[in-house]
A = this chain, B = another copy of it.
């Protein structure tokens, strides 16, 4: 007996074919400390796309049977060697209703919960009771679908800046859901934030929620504007969702220019101010180019990832962050979805191409109850 689930799965074969299918699988009954959740909302985050589509070439997309198939160019196969032949469930986080519970988790039965743990692009999910969070009164599944990734990441940025002694932050792709959360946190916490966007529309979104420093990377005098904003705020840490190209380098350069502007004597090694660029995304998958000769020697460019960050700060800080997300679910951490799709629709080529674009301001929500 037990429950069954329809799960969206991604498999890369050794010949470079990447298959997306919706498989019906037995997920059994909940153990004593487990629950079965009917998934009602799961956001498509960039990190989900990285698992779903890997480094496949989206132009190669074609329908095969009830699934779709894409090709991973041979040069990119090295980065996915570890997953070849494995059918991987996708979807970091979601929300839904507990429809069955083990004997130690009965209090959750019937509750609307948020959850994290992978495999959320499915109509049902079995997981441990401790991996679900009952949503506050009045919150819908859509409200609770993004309890973890964006809220904890944006809070994590501010925690990181504080822990490492920075007084202001630079953020790229800043009009994203995550970026809007970060702006709201920074306003509430009094941390100056320099937002980098690439259109006036995006700038308007941020100004609409109270942003004061917004610079458009497509403006001709972008570097001068950025240097002015970095000088005014004293920002020495940046979080970059883009990763590829020279934008990160230009941010560090602007910080060094601001720091040198505060110096009175020439130093061939540049300023003594430590500048940190964290790359947390890959909206641009091309290599990162660092014009480091303009940085001085006090700089660092690093990867930033939520899970190791939460491990590093420990349960007390993580708990405080979780509590704040629930307390401010409908304000600071409200997500804005531009389109809700069913599970099967996620494999519709036209829909897939739309959410794969990762356009700022666009955000997809999967509601598996729609089929």
Chain A interface residues (CB < 8 Å from chain B): 50-51, 55, 78-79, 81-83, 86, 88, 243, 249, 260, 263, 266-269, 272, 279-280, 282, 285, 287-305, 307-308
B303 touches A302 (CB 8 A): no
Q: Report the separation of the CA atoms of residues A301 and B301 in the bound assembly, to the nearest whole angstrom.
A: 5
Least CB distance from A86 to B in Å reads 6
Q: Report the separation of the CA atoms of residues A304 and B274 in the bound assembly, to the nearest whole angstrom.
A: 11
Q: Which residue of B lies closest to A277 (CB)?
A: B301
Q: Report the separation of the CA atoms of residues A229 and B308 in the bound assembly, to the nearest whole angstrom.
A: 27
Q: Which residue of B lies closest to A288 (CB)?
A: B290
Least CB distance from A268 to B in Å reads 5
Taking A83-B268, A268-B50 as contacts, is the C-beta distance between A297 and B303 under 8 angstroms? yes
The contact sample of 25 A-B pairs, CB cut-off 8 A, is A55-B293, A78-B294, A79-B293, A79-B294, A82-B260, A82-B263, A82-B266, A86-B266, A88-B266, A269-B305, A269-B307, A280-B297, A285-B293, A287-B289, A287-B290, A287-B292, A288-B289, A289-B289, A290-B290, A295-B303, A297-B303, A297-B304, A298-B303, A298-B308, A301-B302
Instruction: Tell me how many chains of this kind the complex includes.
Output: 2
Least CB distance from A288 to B in Å reads 4
* A305 contact set on B, CB distance < 8 A: 269, 297-298
B289 touches A83 (CB 8 A): no
Taking A297-B308, A303-B297, A305-B298 as contacts, is the C-beta distance between A292 and B243 under 8 angstroms? yes
Select A266's contact among B83, B269, B301, beta carbons within 8 Å. B83
Least CB distance from A16 to B in Å reads 17
Q: Report the separation of the CA atoms of residues A303 and B288 in the bound assembly, to the nearest whole angstrom.
A: 16
* A243 contact set on B, CB distance < 8 A: 292
* A50 contact set on B, CB distance < 8 A: 268
* A263 contact set on B, CB distance < 8 A: 82
